[in-house]
Amino acid sequence: MPDSNTRRAAFDWLTTQVEVHGDVLPWALLQRGFVHRGERVPLVSMNGIFKPRVMELPLSIRSASEGGPYDDAFTAENLLRYRYRGTDPQHPDNAGLREAWRRDVPLVYFHGIVRGRYLASWPVFIVGDDPAALTFTVAVDDARMLLPLRLGAGEGGWIAEGEADARRRYVTSLVRRRLHQRSFRERVLRAYREQCAFCRLRHAELLDAAHIVADREELGEPRVQNGVSLCKLHHAAFDALFLTIRPDDYRIVVRDDILTEEDGPMLLHGLQGLHGRRIEHPRSPGLRPDPELLASRYDRFIQASSNP
């Protein structure tokens, strides 16, 4: 079972990389891969369906950030569609995925978030094939339910225990939500050149993509114009309406009661010192905060200022 051993090693390696880097991983890391039993095993190539040289069946499938797996690639049943390579159903890559489906073999799905960065989801399974539409149907499963080969297991060497169909649809729906969240964060931070718009802190690990209008609200779409790159301190202060951004000139306004409070250097330099300062916004005018969304938030800020 060399494929099963290598596949398990790939899943273990990915688990470690996500612990170090988060679940959005860079292309160079995935292309370099890991060494298993003296052989280097990359996880991606320029082909969307990828089978390492040392394996019999594909290890991963990948979608680019342009036209990637967003809402139009999810079915109403919370499954994913994945297009064939080319138009020949019998292309070796397509045949490899079909065989993975037949054997119920788990794969990794790399969802393109922005250029060169991918959200990793595993294990995923091929659960359907539609040659007329040139697409496979894909479901994400819970890695905790995936067990290695046991005596009497299927040909693929994996057992996905429990009510697999319902569970996979639920887990795929969670991946869909996470895909939107990670995509929003990556696109906002890239637009703001990976720095806090308020204090210019540049450590990405300490940055968030703050919504101007919350995503649960009608206008809270996950687009860059509804986001601001903020460090964790200023994100919390922004959400608490301690401060906001004026919609006409992109200047920071700090609430009156915060301005007059006395509470040490962090308050003085971290919040009060921002009052009247213009934010660092994206260079592209089309990616700057939407004035209408800022105005909506500014109204809430004024109400909070009246009732601190």
State the average pLDDT over residues 249-276: 92
CB 181 within 8 A of CB 88: no
Q: What is the dihedral of CA 45, 49, 51, 52, to 10 degrees?
A: 10
Distance CA 293, CA 213 (A): 6
Written as six digits, the tokens of 129 are: 């094939």
State the average pLDDT over residues 104-119: 92
Q: What domains are there in the chain, each with its CATH number?
A: 2-186 (2.30.280), 195-306 (no CATH)
Q: Does 162 score more than 60 pLDDT?
A: no
Q: Does 114 score more than 70 pLDDT?
A: yes
At residue 153, the pLDDT reads 45
The answer for residues whose C-beta is within 8 angstroms of residue 8's C-beta and 6 or more apart is: 148
Please state the φ and ψ torsions of residue 198, each to the nearest 5 degrees.
Answer: -95, -45
At residue 78, the pLDDT reads 86
SS3 245: strand
pLDDT tens, position by position, 5-25: 899 999 999 999 999 998 899
pLDDT confidence bin for 150, thresholds 50/70/90: very low
At residue 64, the pLDDT reads 81
The answer for residues whose C-beta is within 8 angstroms of residue 238's C-beta and 6 or more apart is: 210, 228, 230, 244
Radius of gyration of the chain (CA): 23
Cα-based angle 27, 43, 65 (whole degrees, multiple of 5): 40
Q: Does 112 score more than 50 pLDDT?
A: yes
Mean predicted lDDT score pLDDT of the chain: 89
Q: Does 253 score more than 70 pLDDT?
A: yes
Distance CA 192, CA 212 (A): 15
At residue 66, the pLDDT reads 57
Lowest mean pLDDT among 130-134, 220-224, 285-289: 220-224
**% of the chain beyond a pLDDT of 90:** 71
At residue 219, the pLDDT reads 62
The H-or-E segment that residue 138 falls in is strand 135-140
pTM metric for this prediction: 0.80
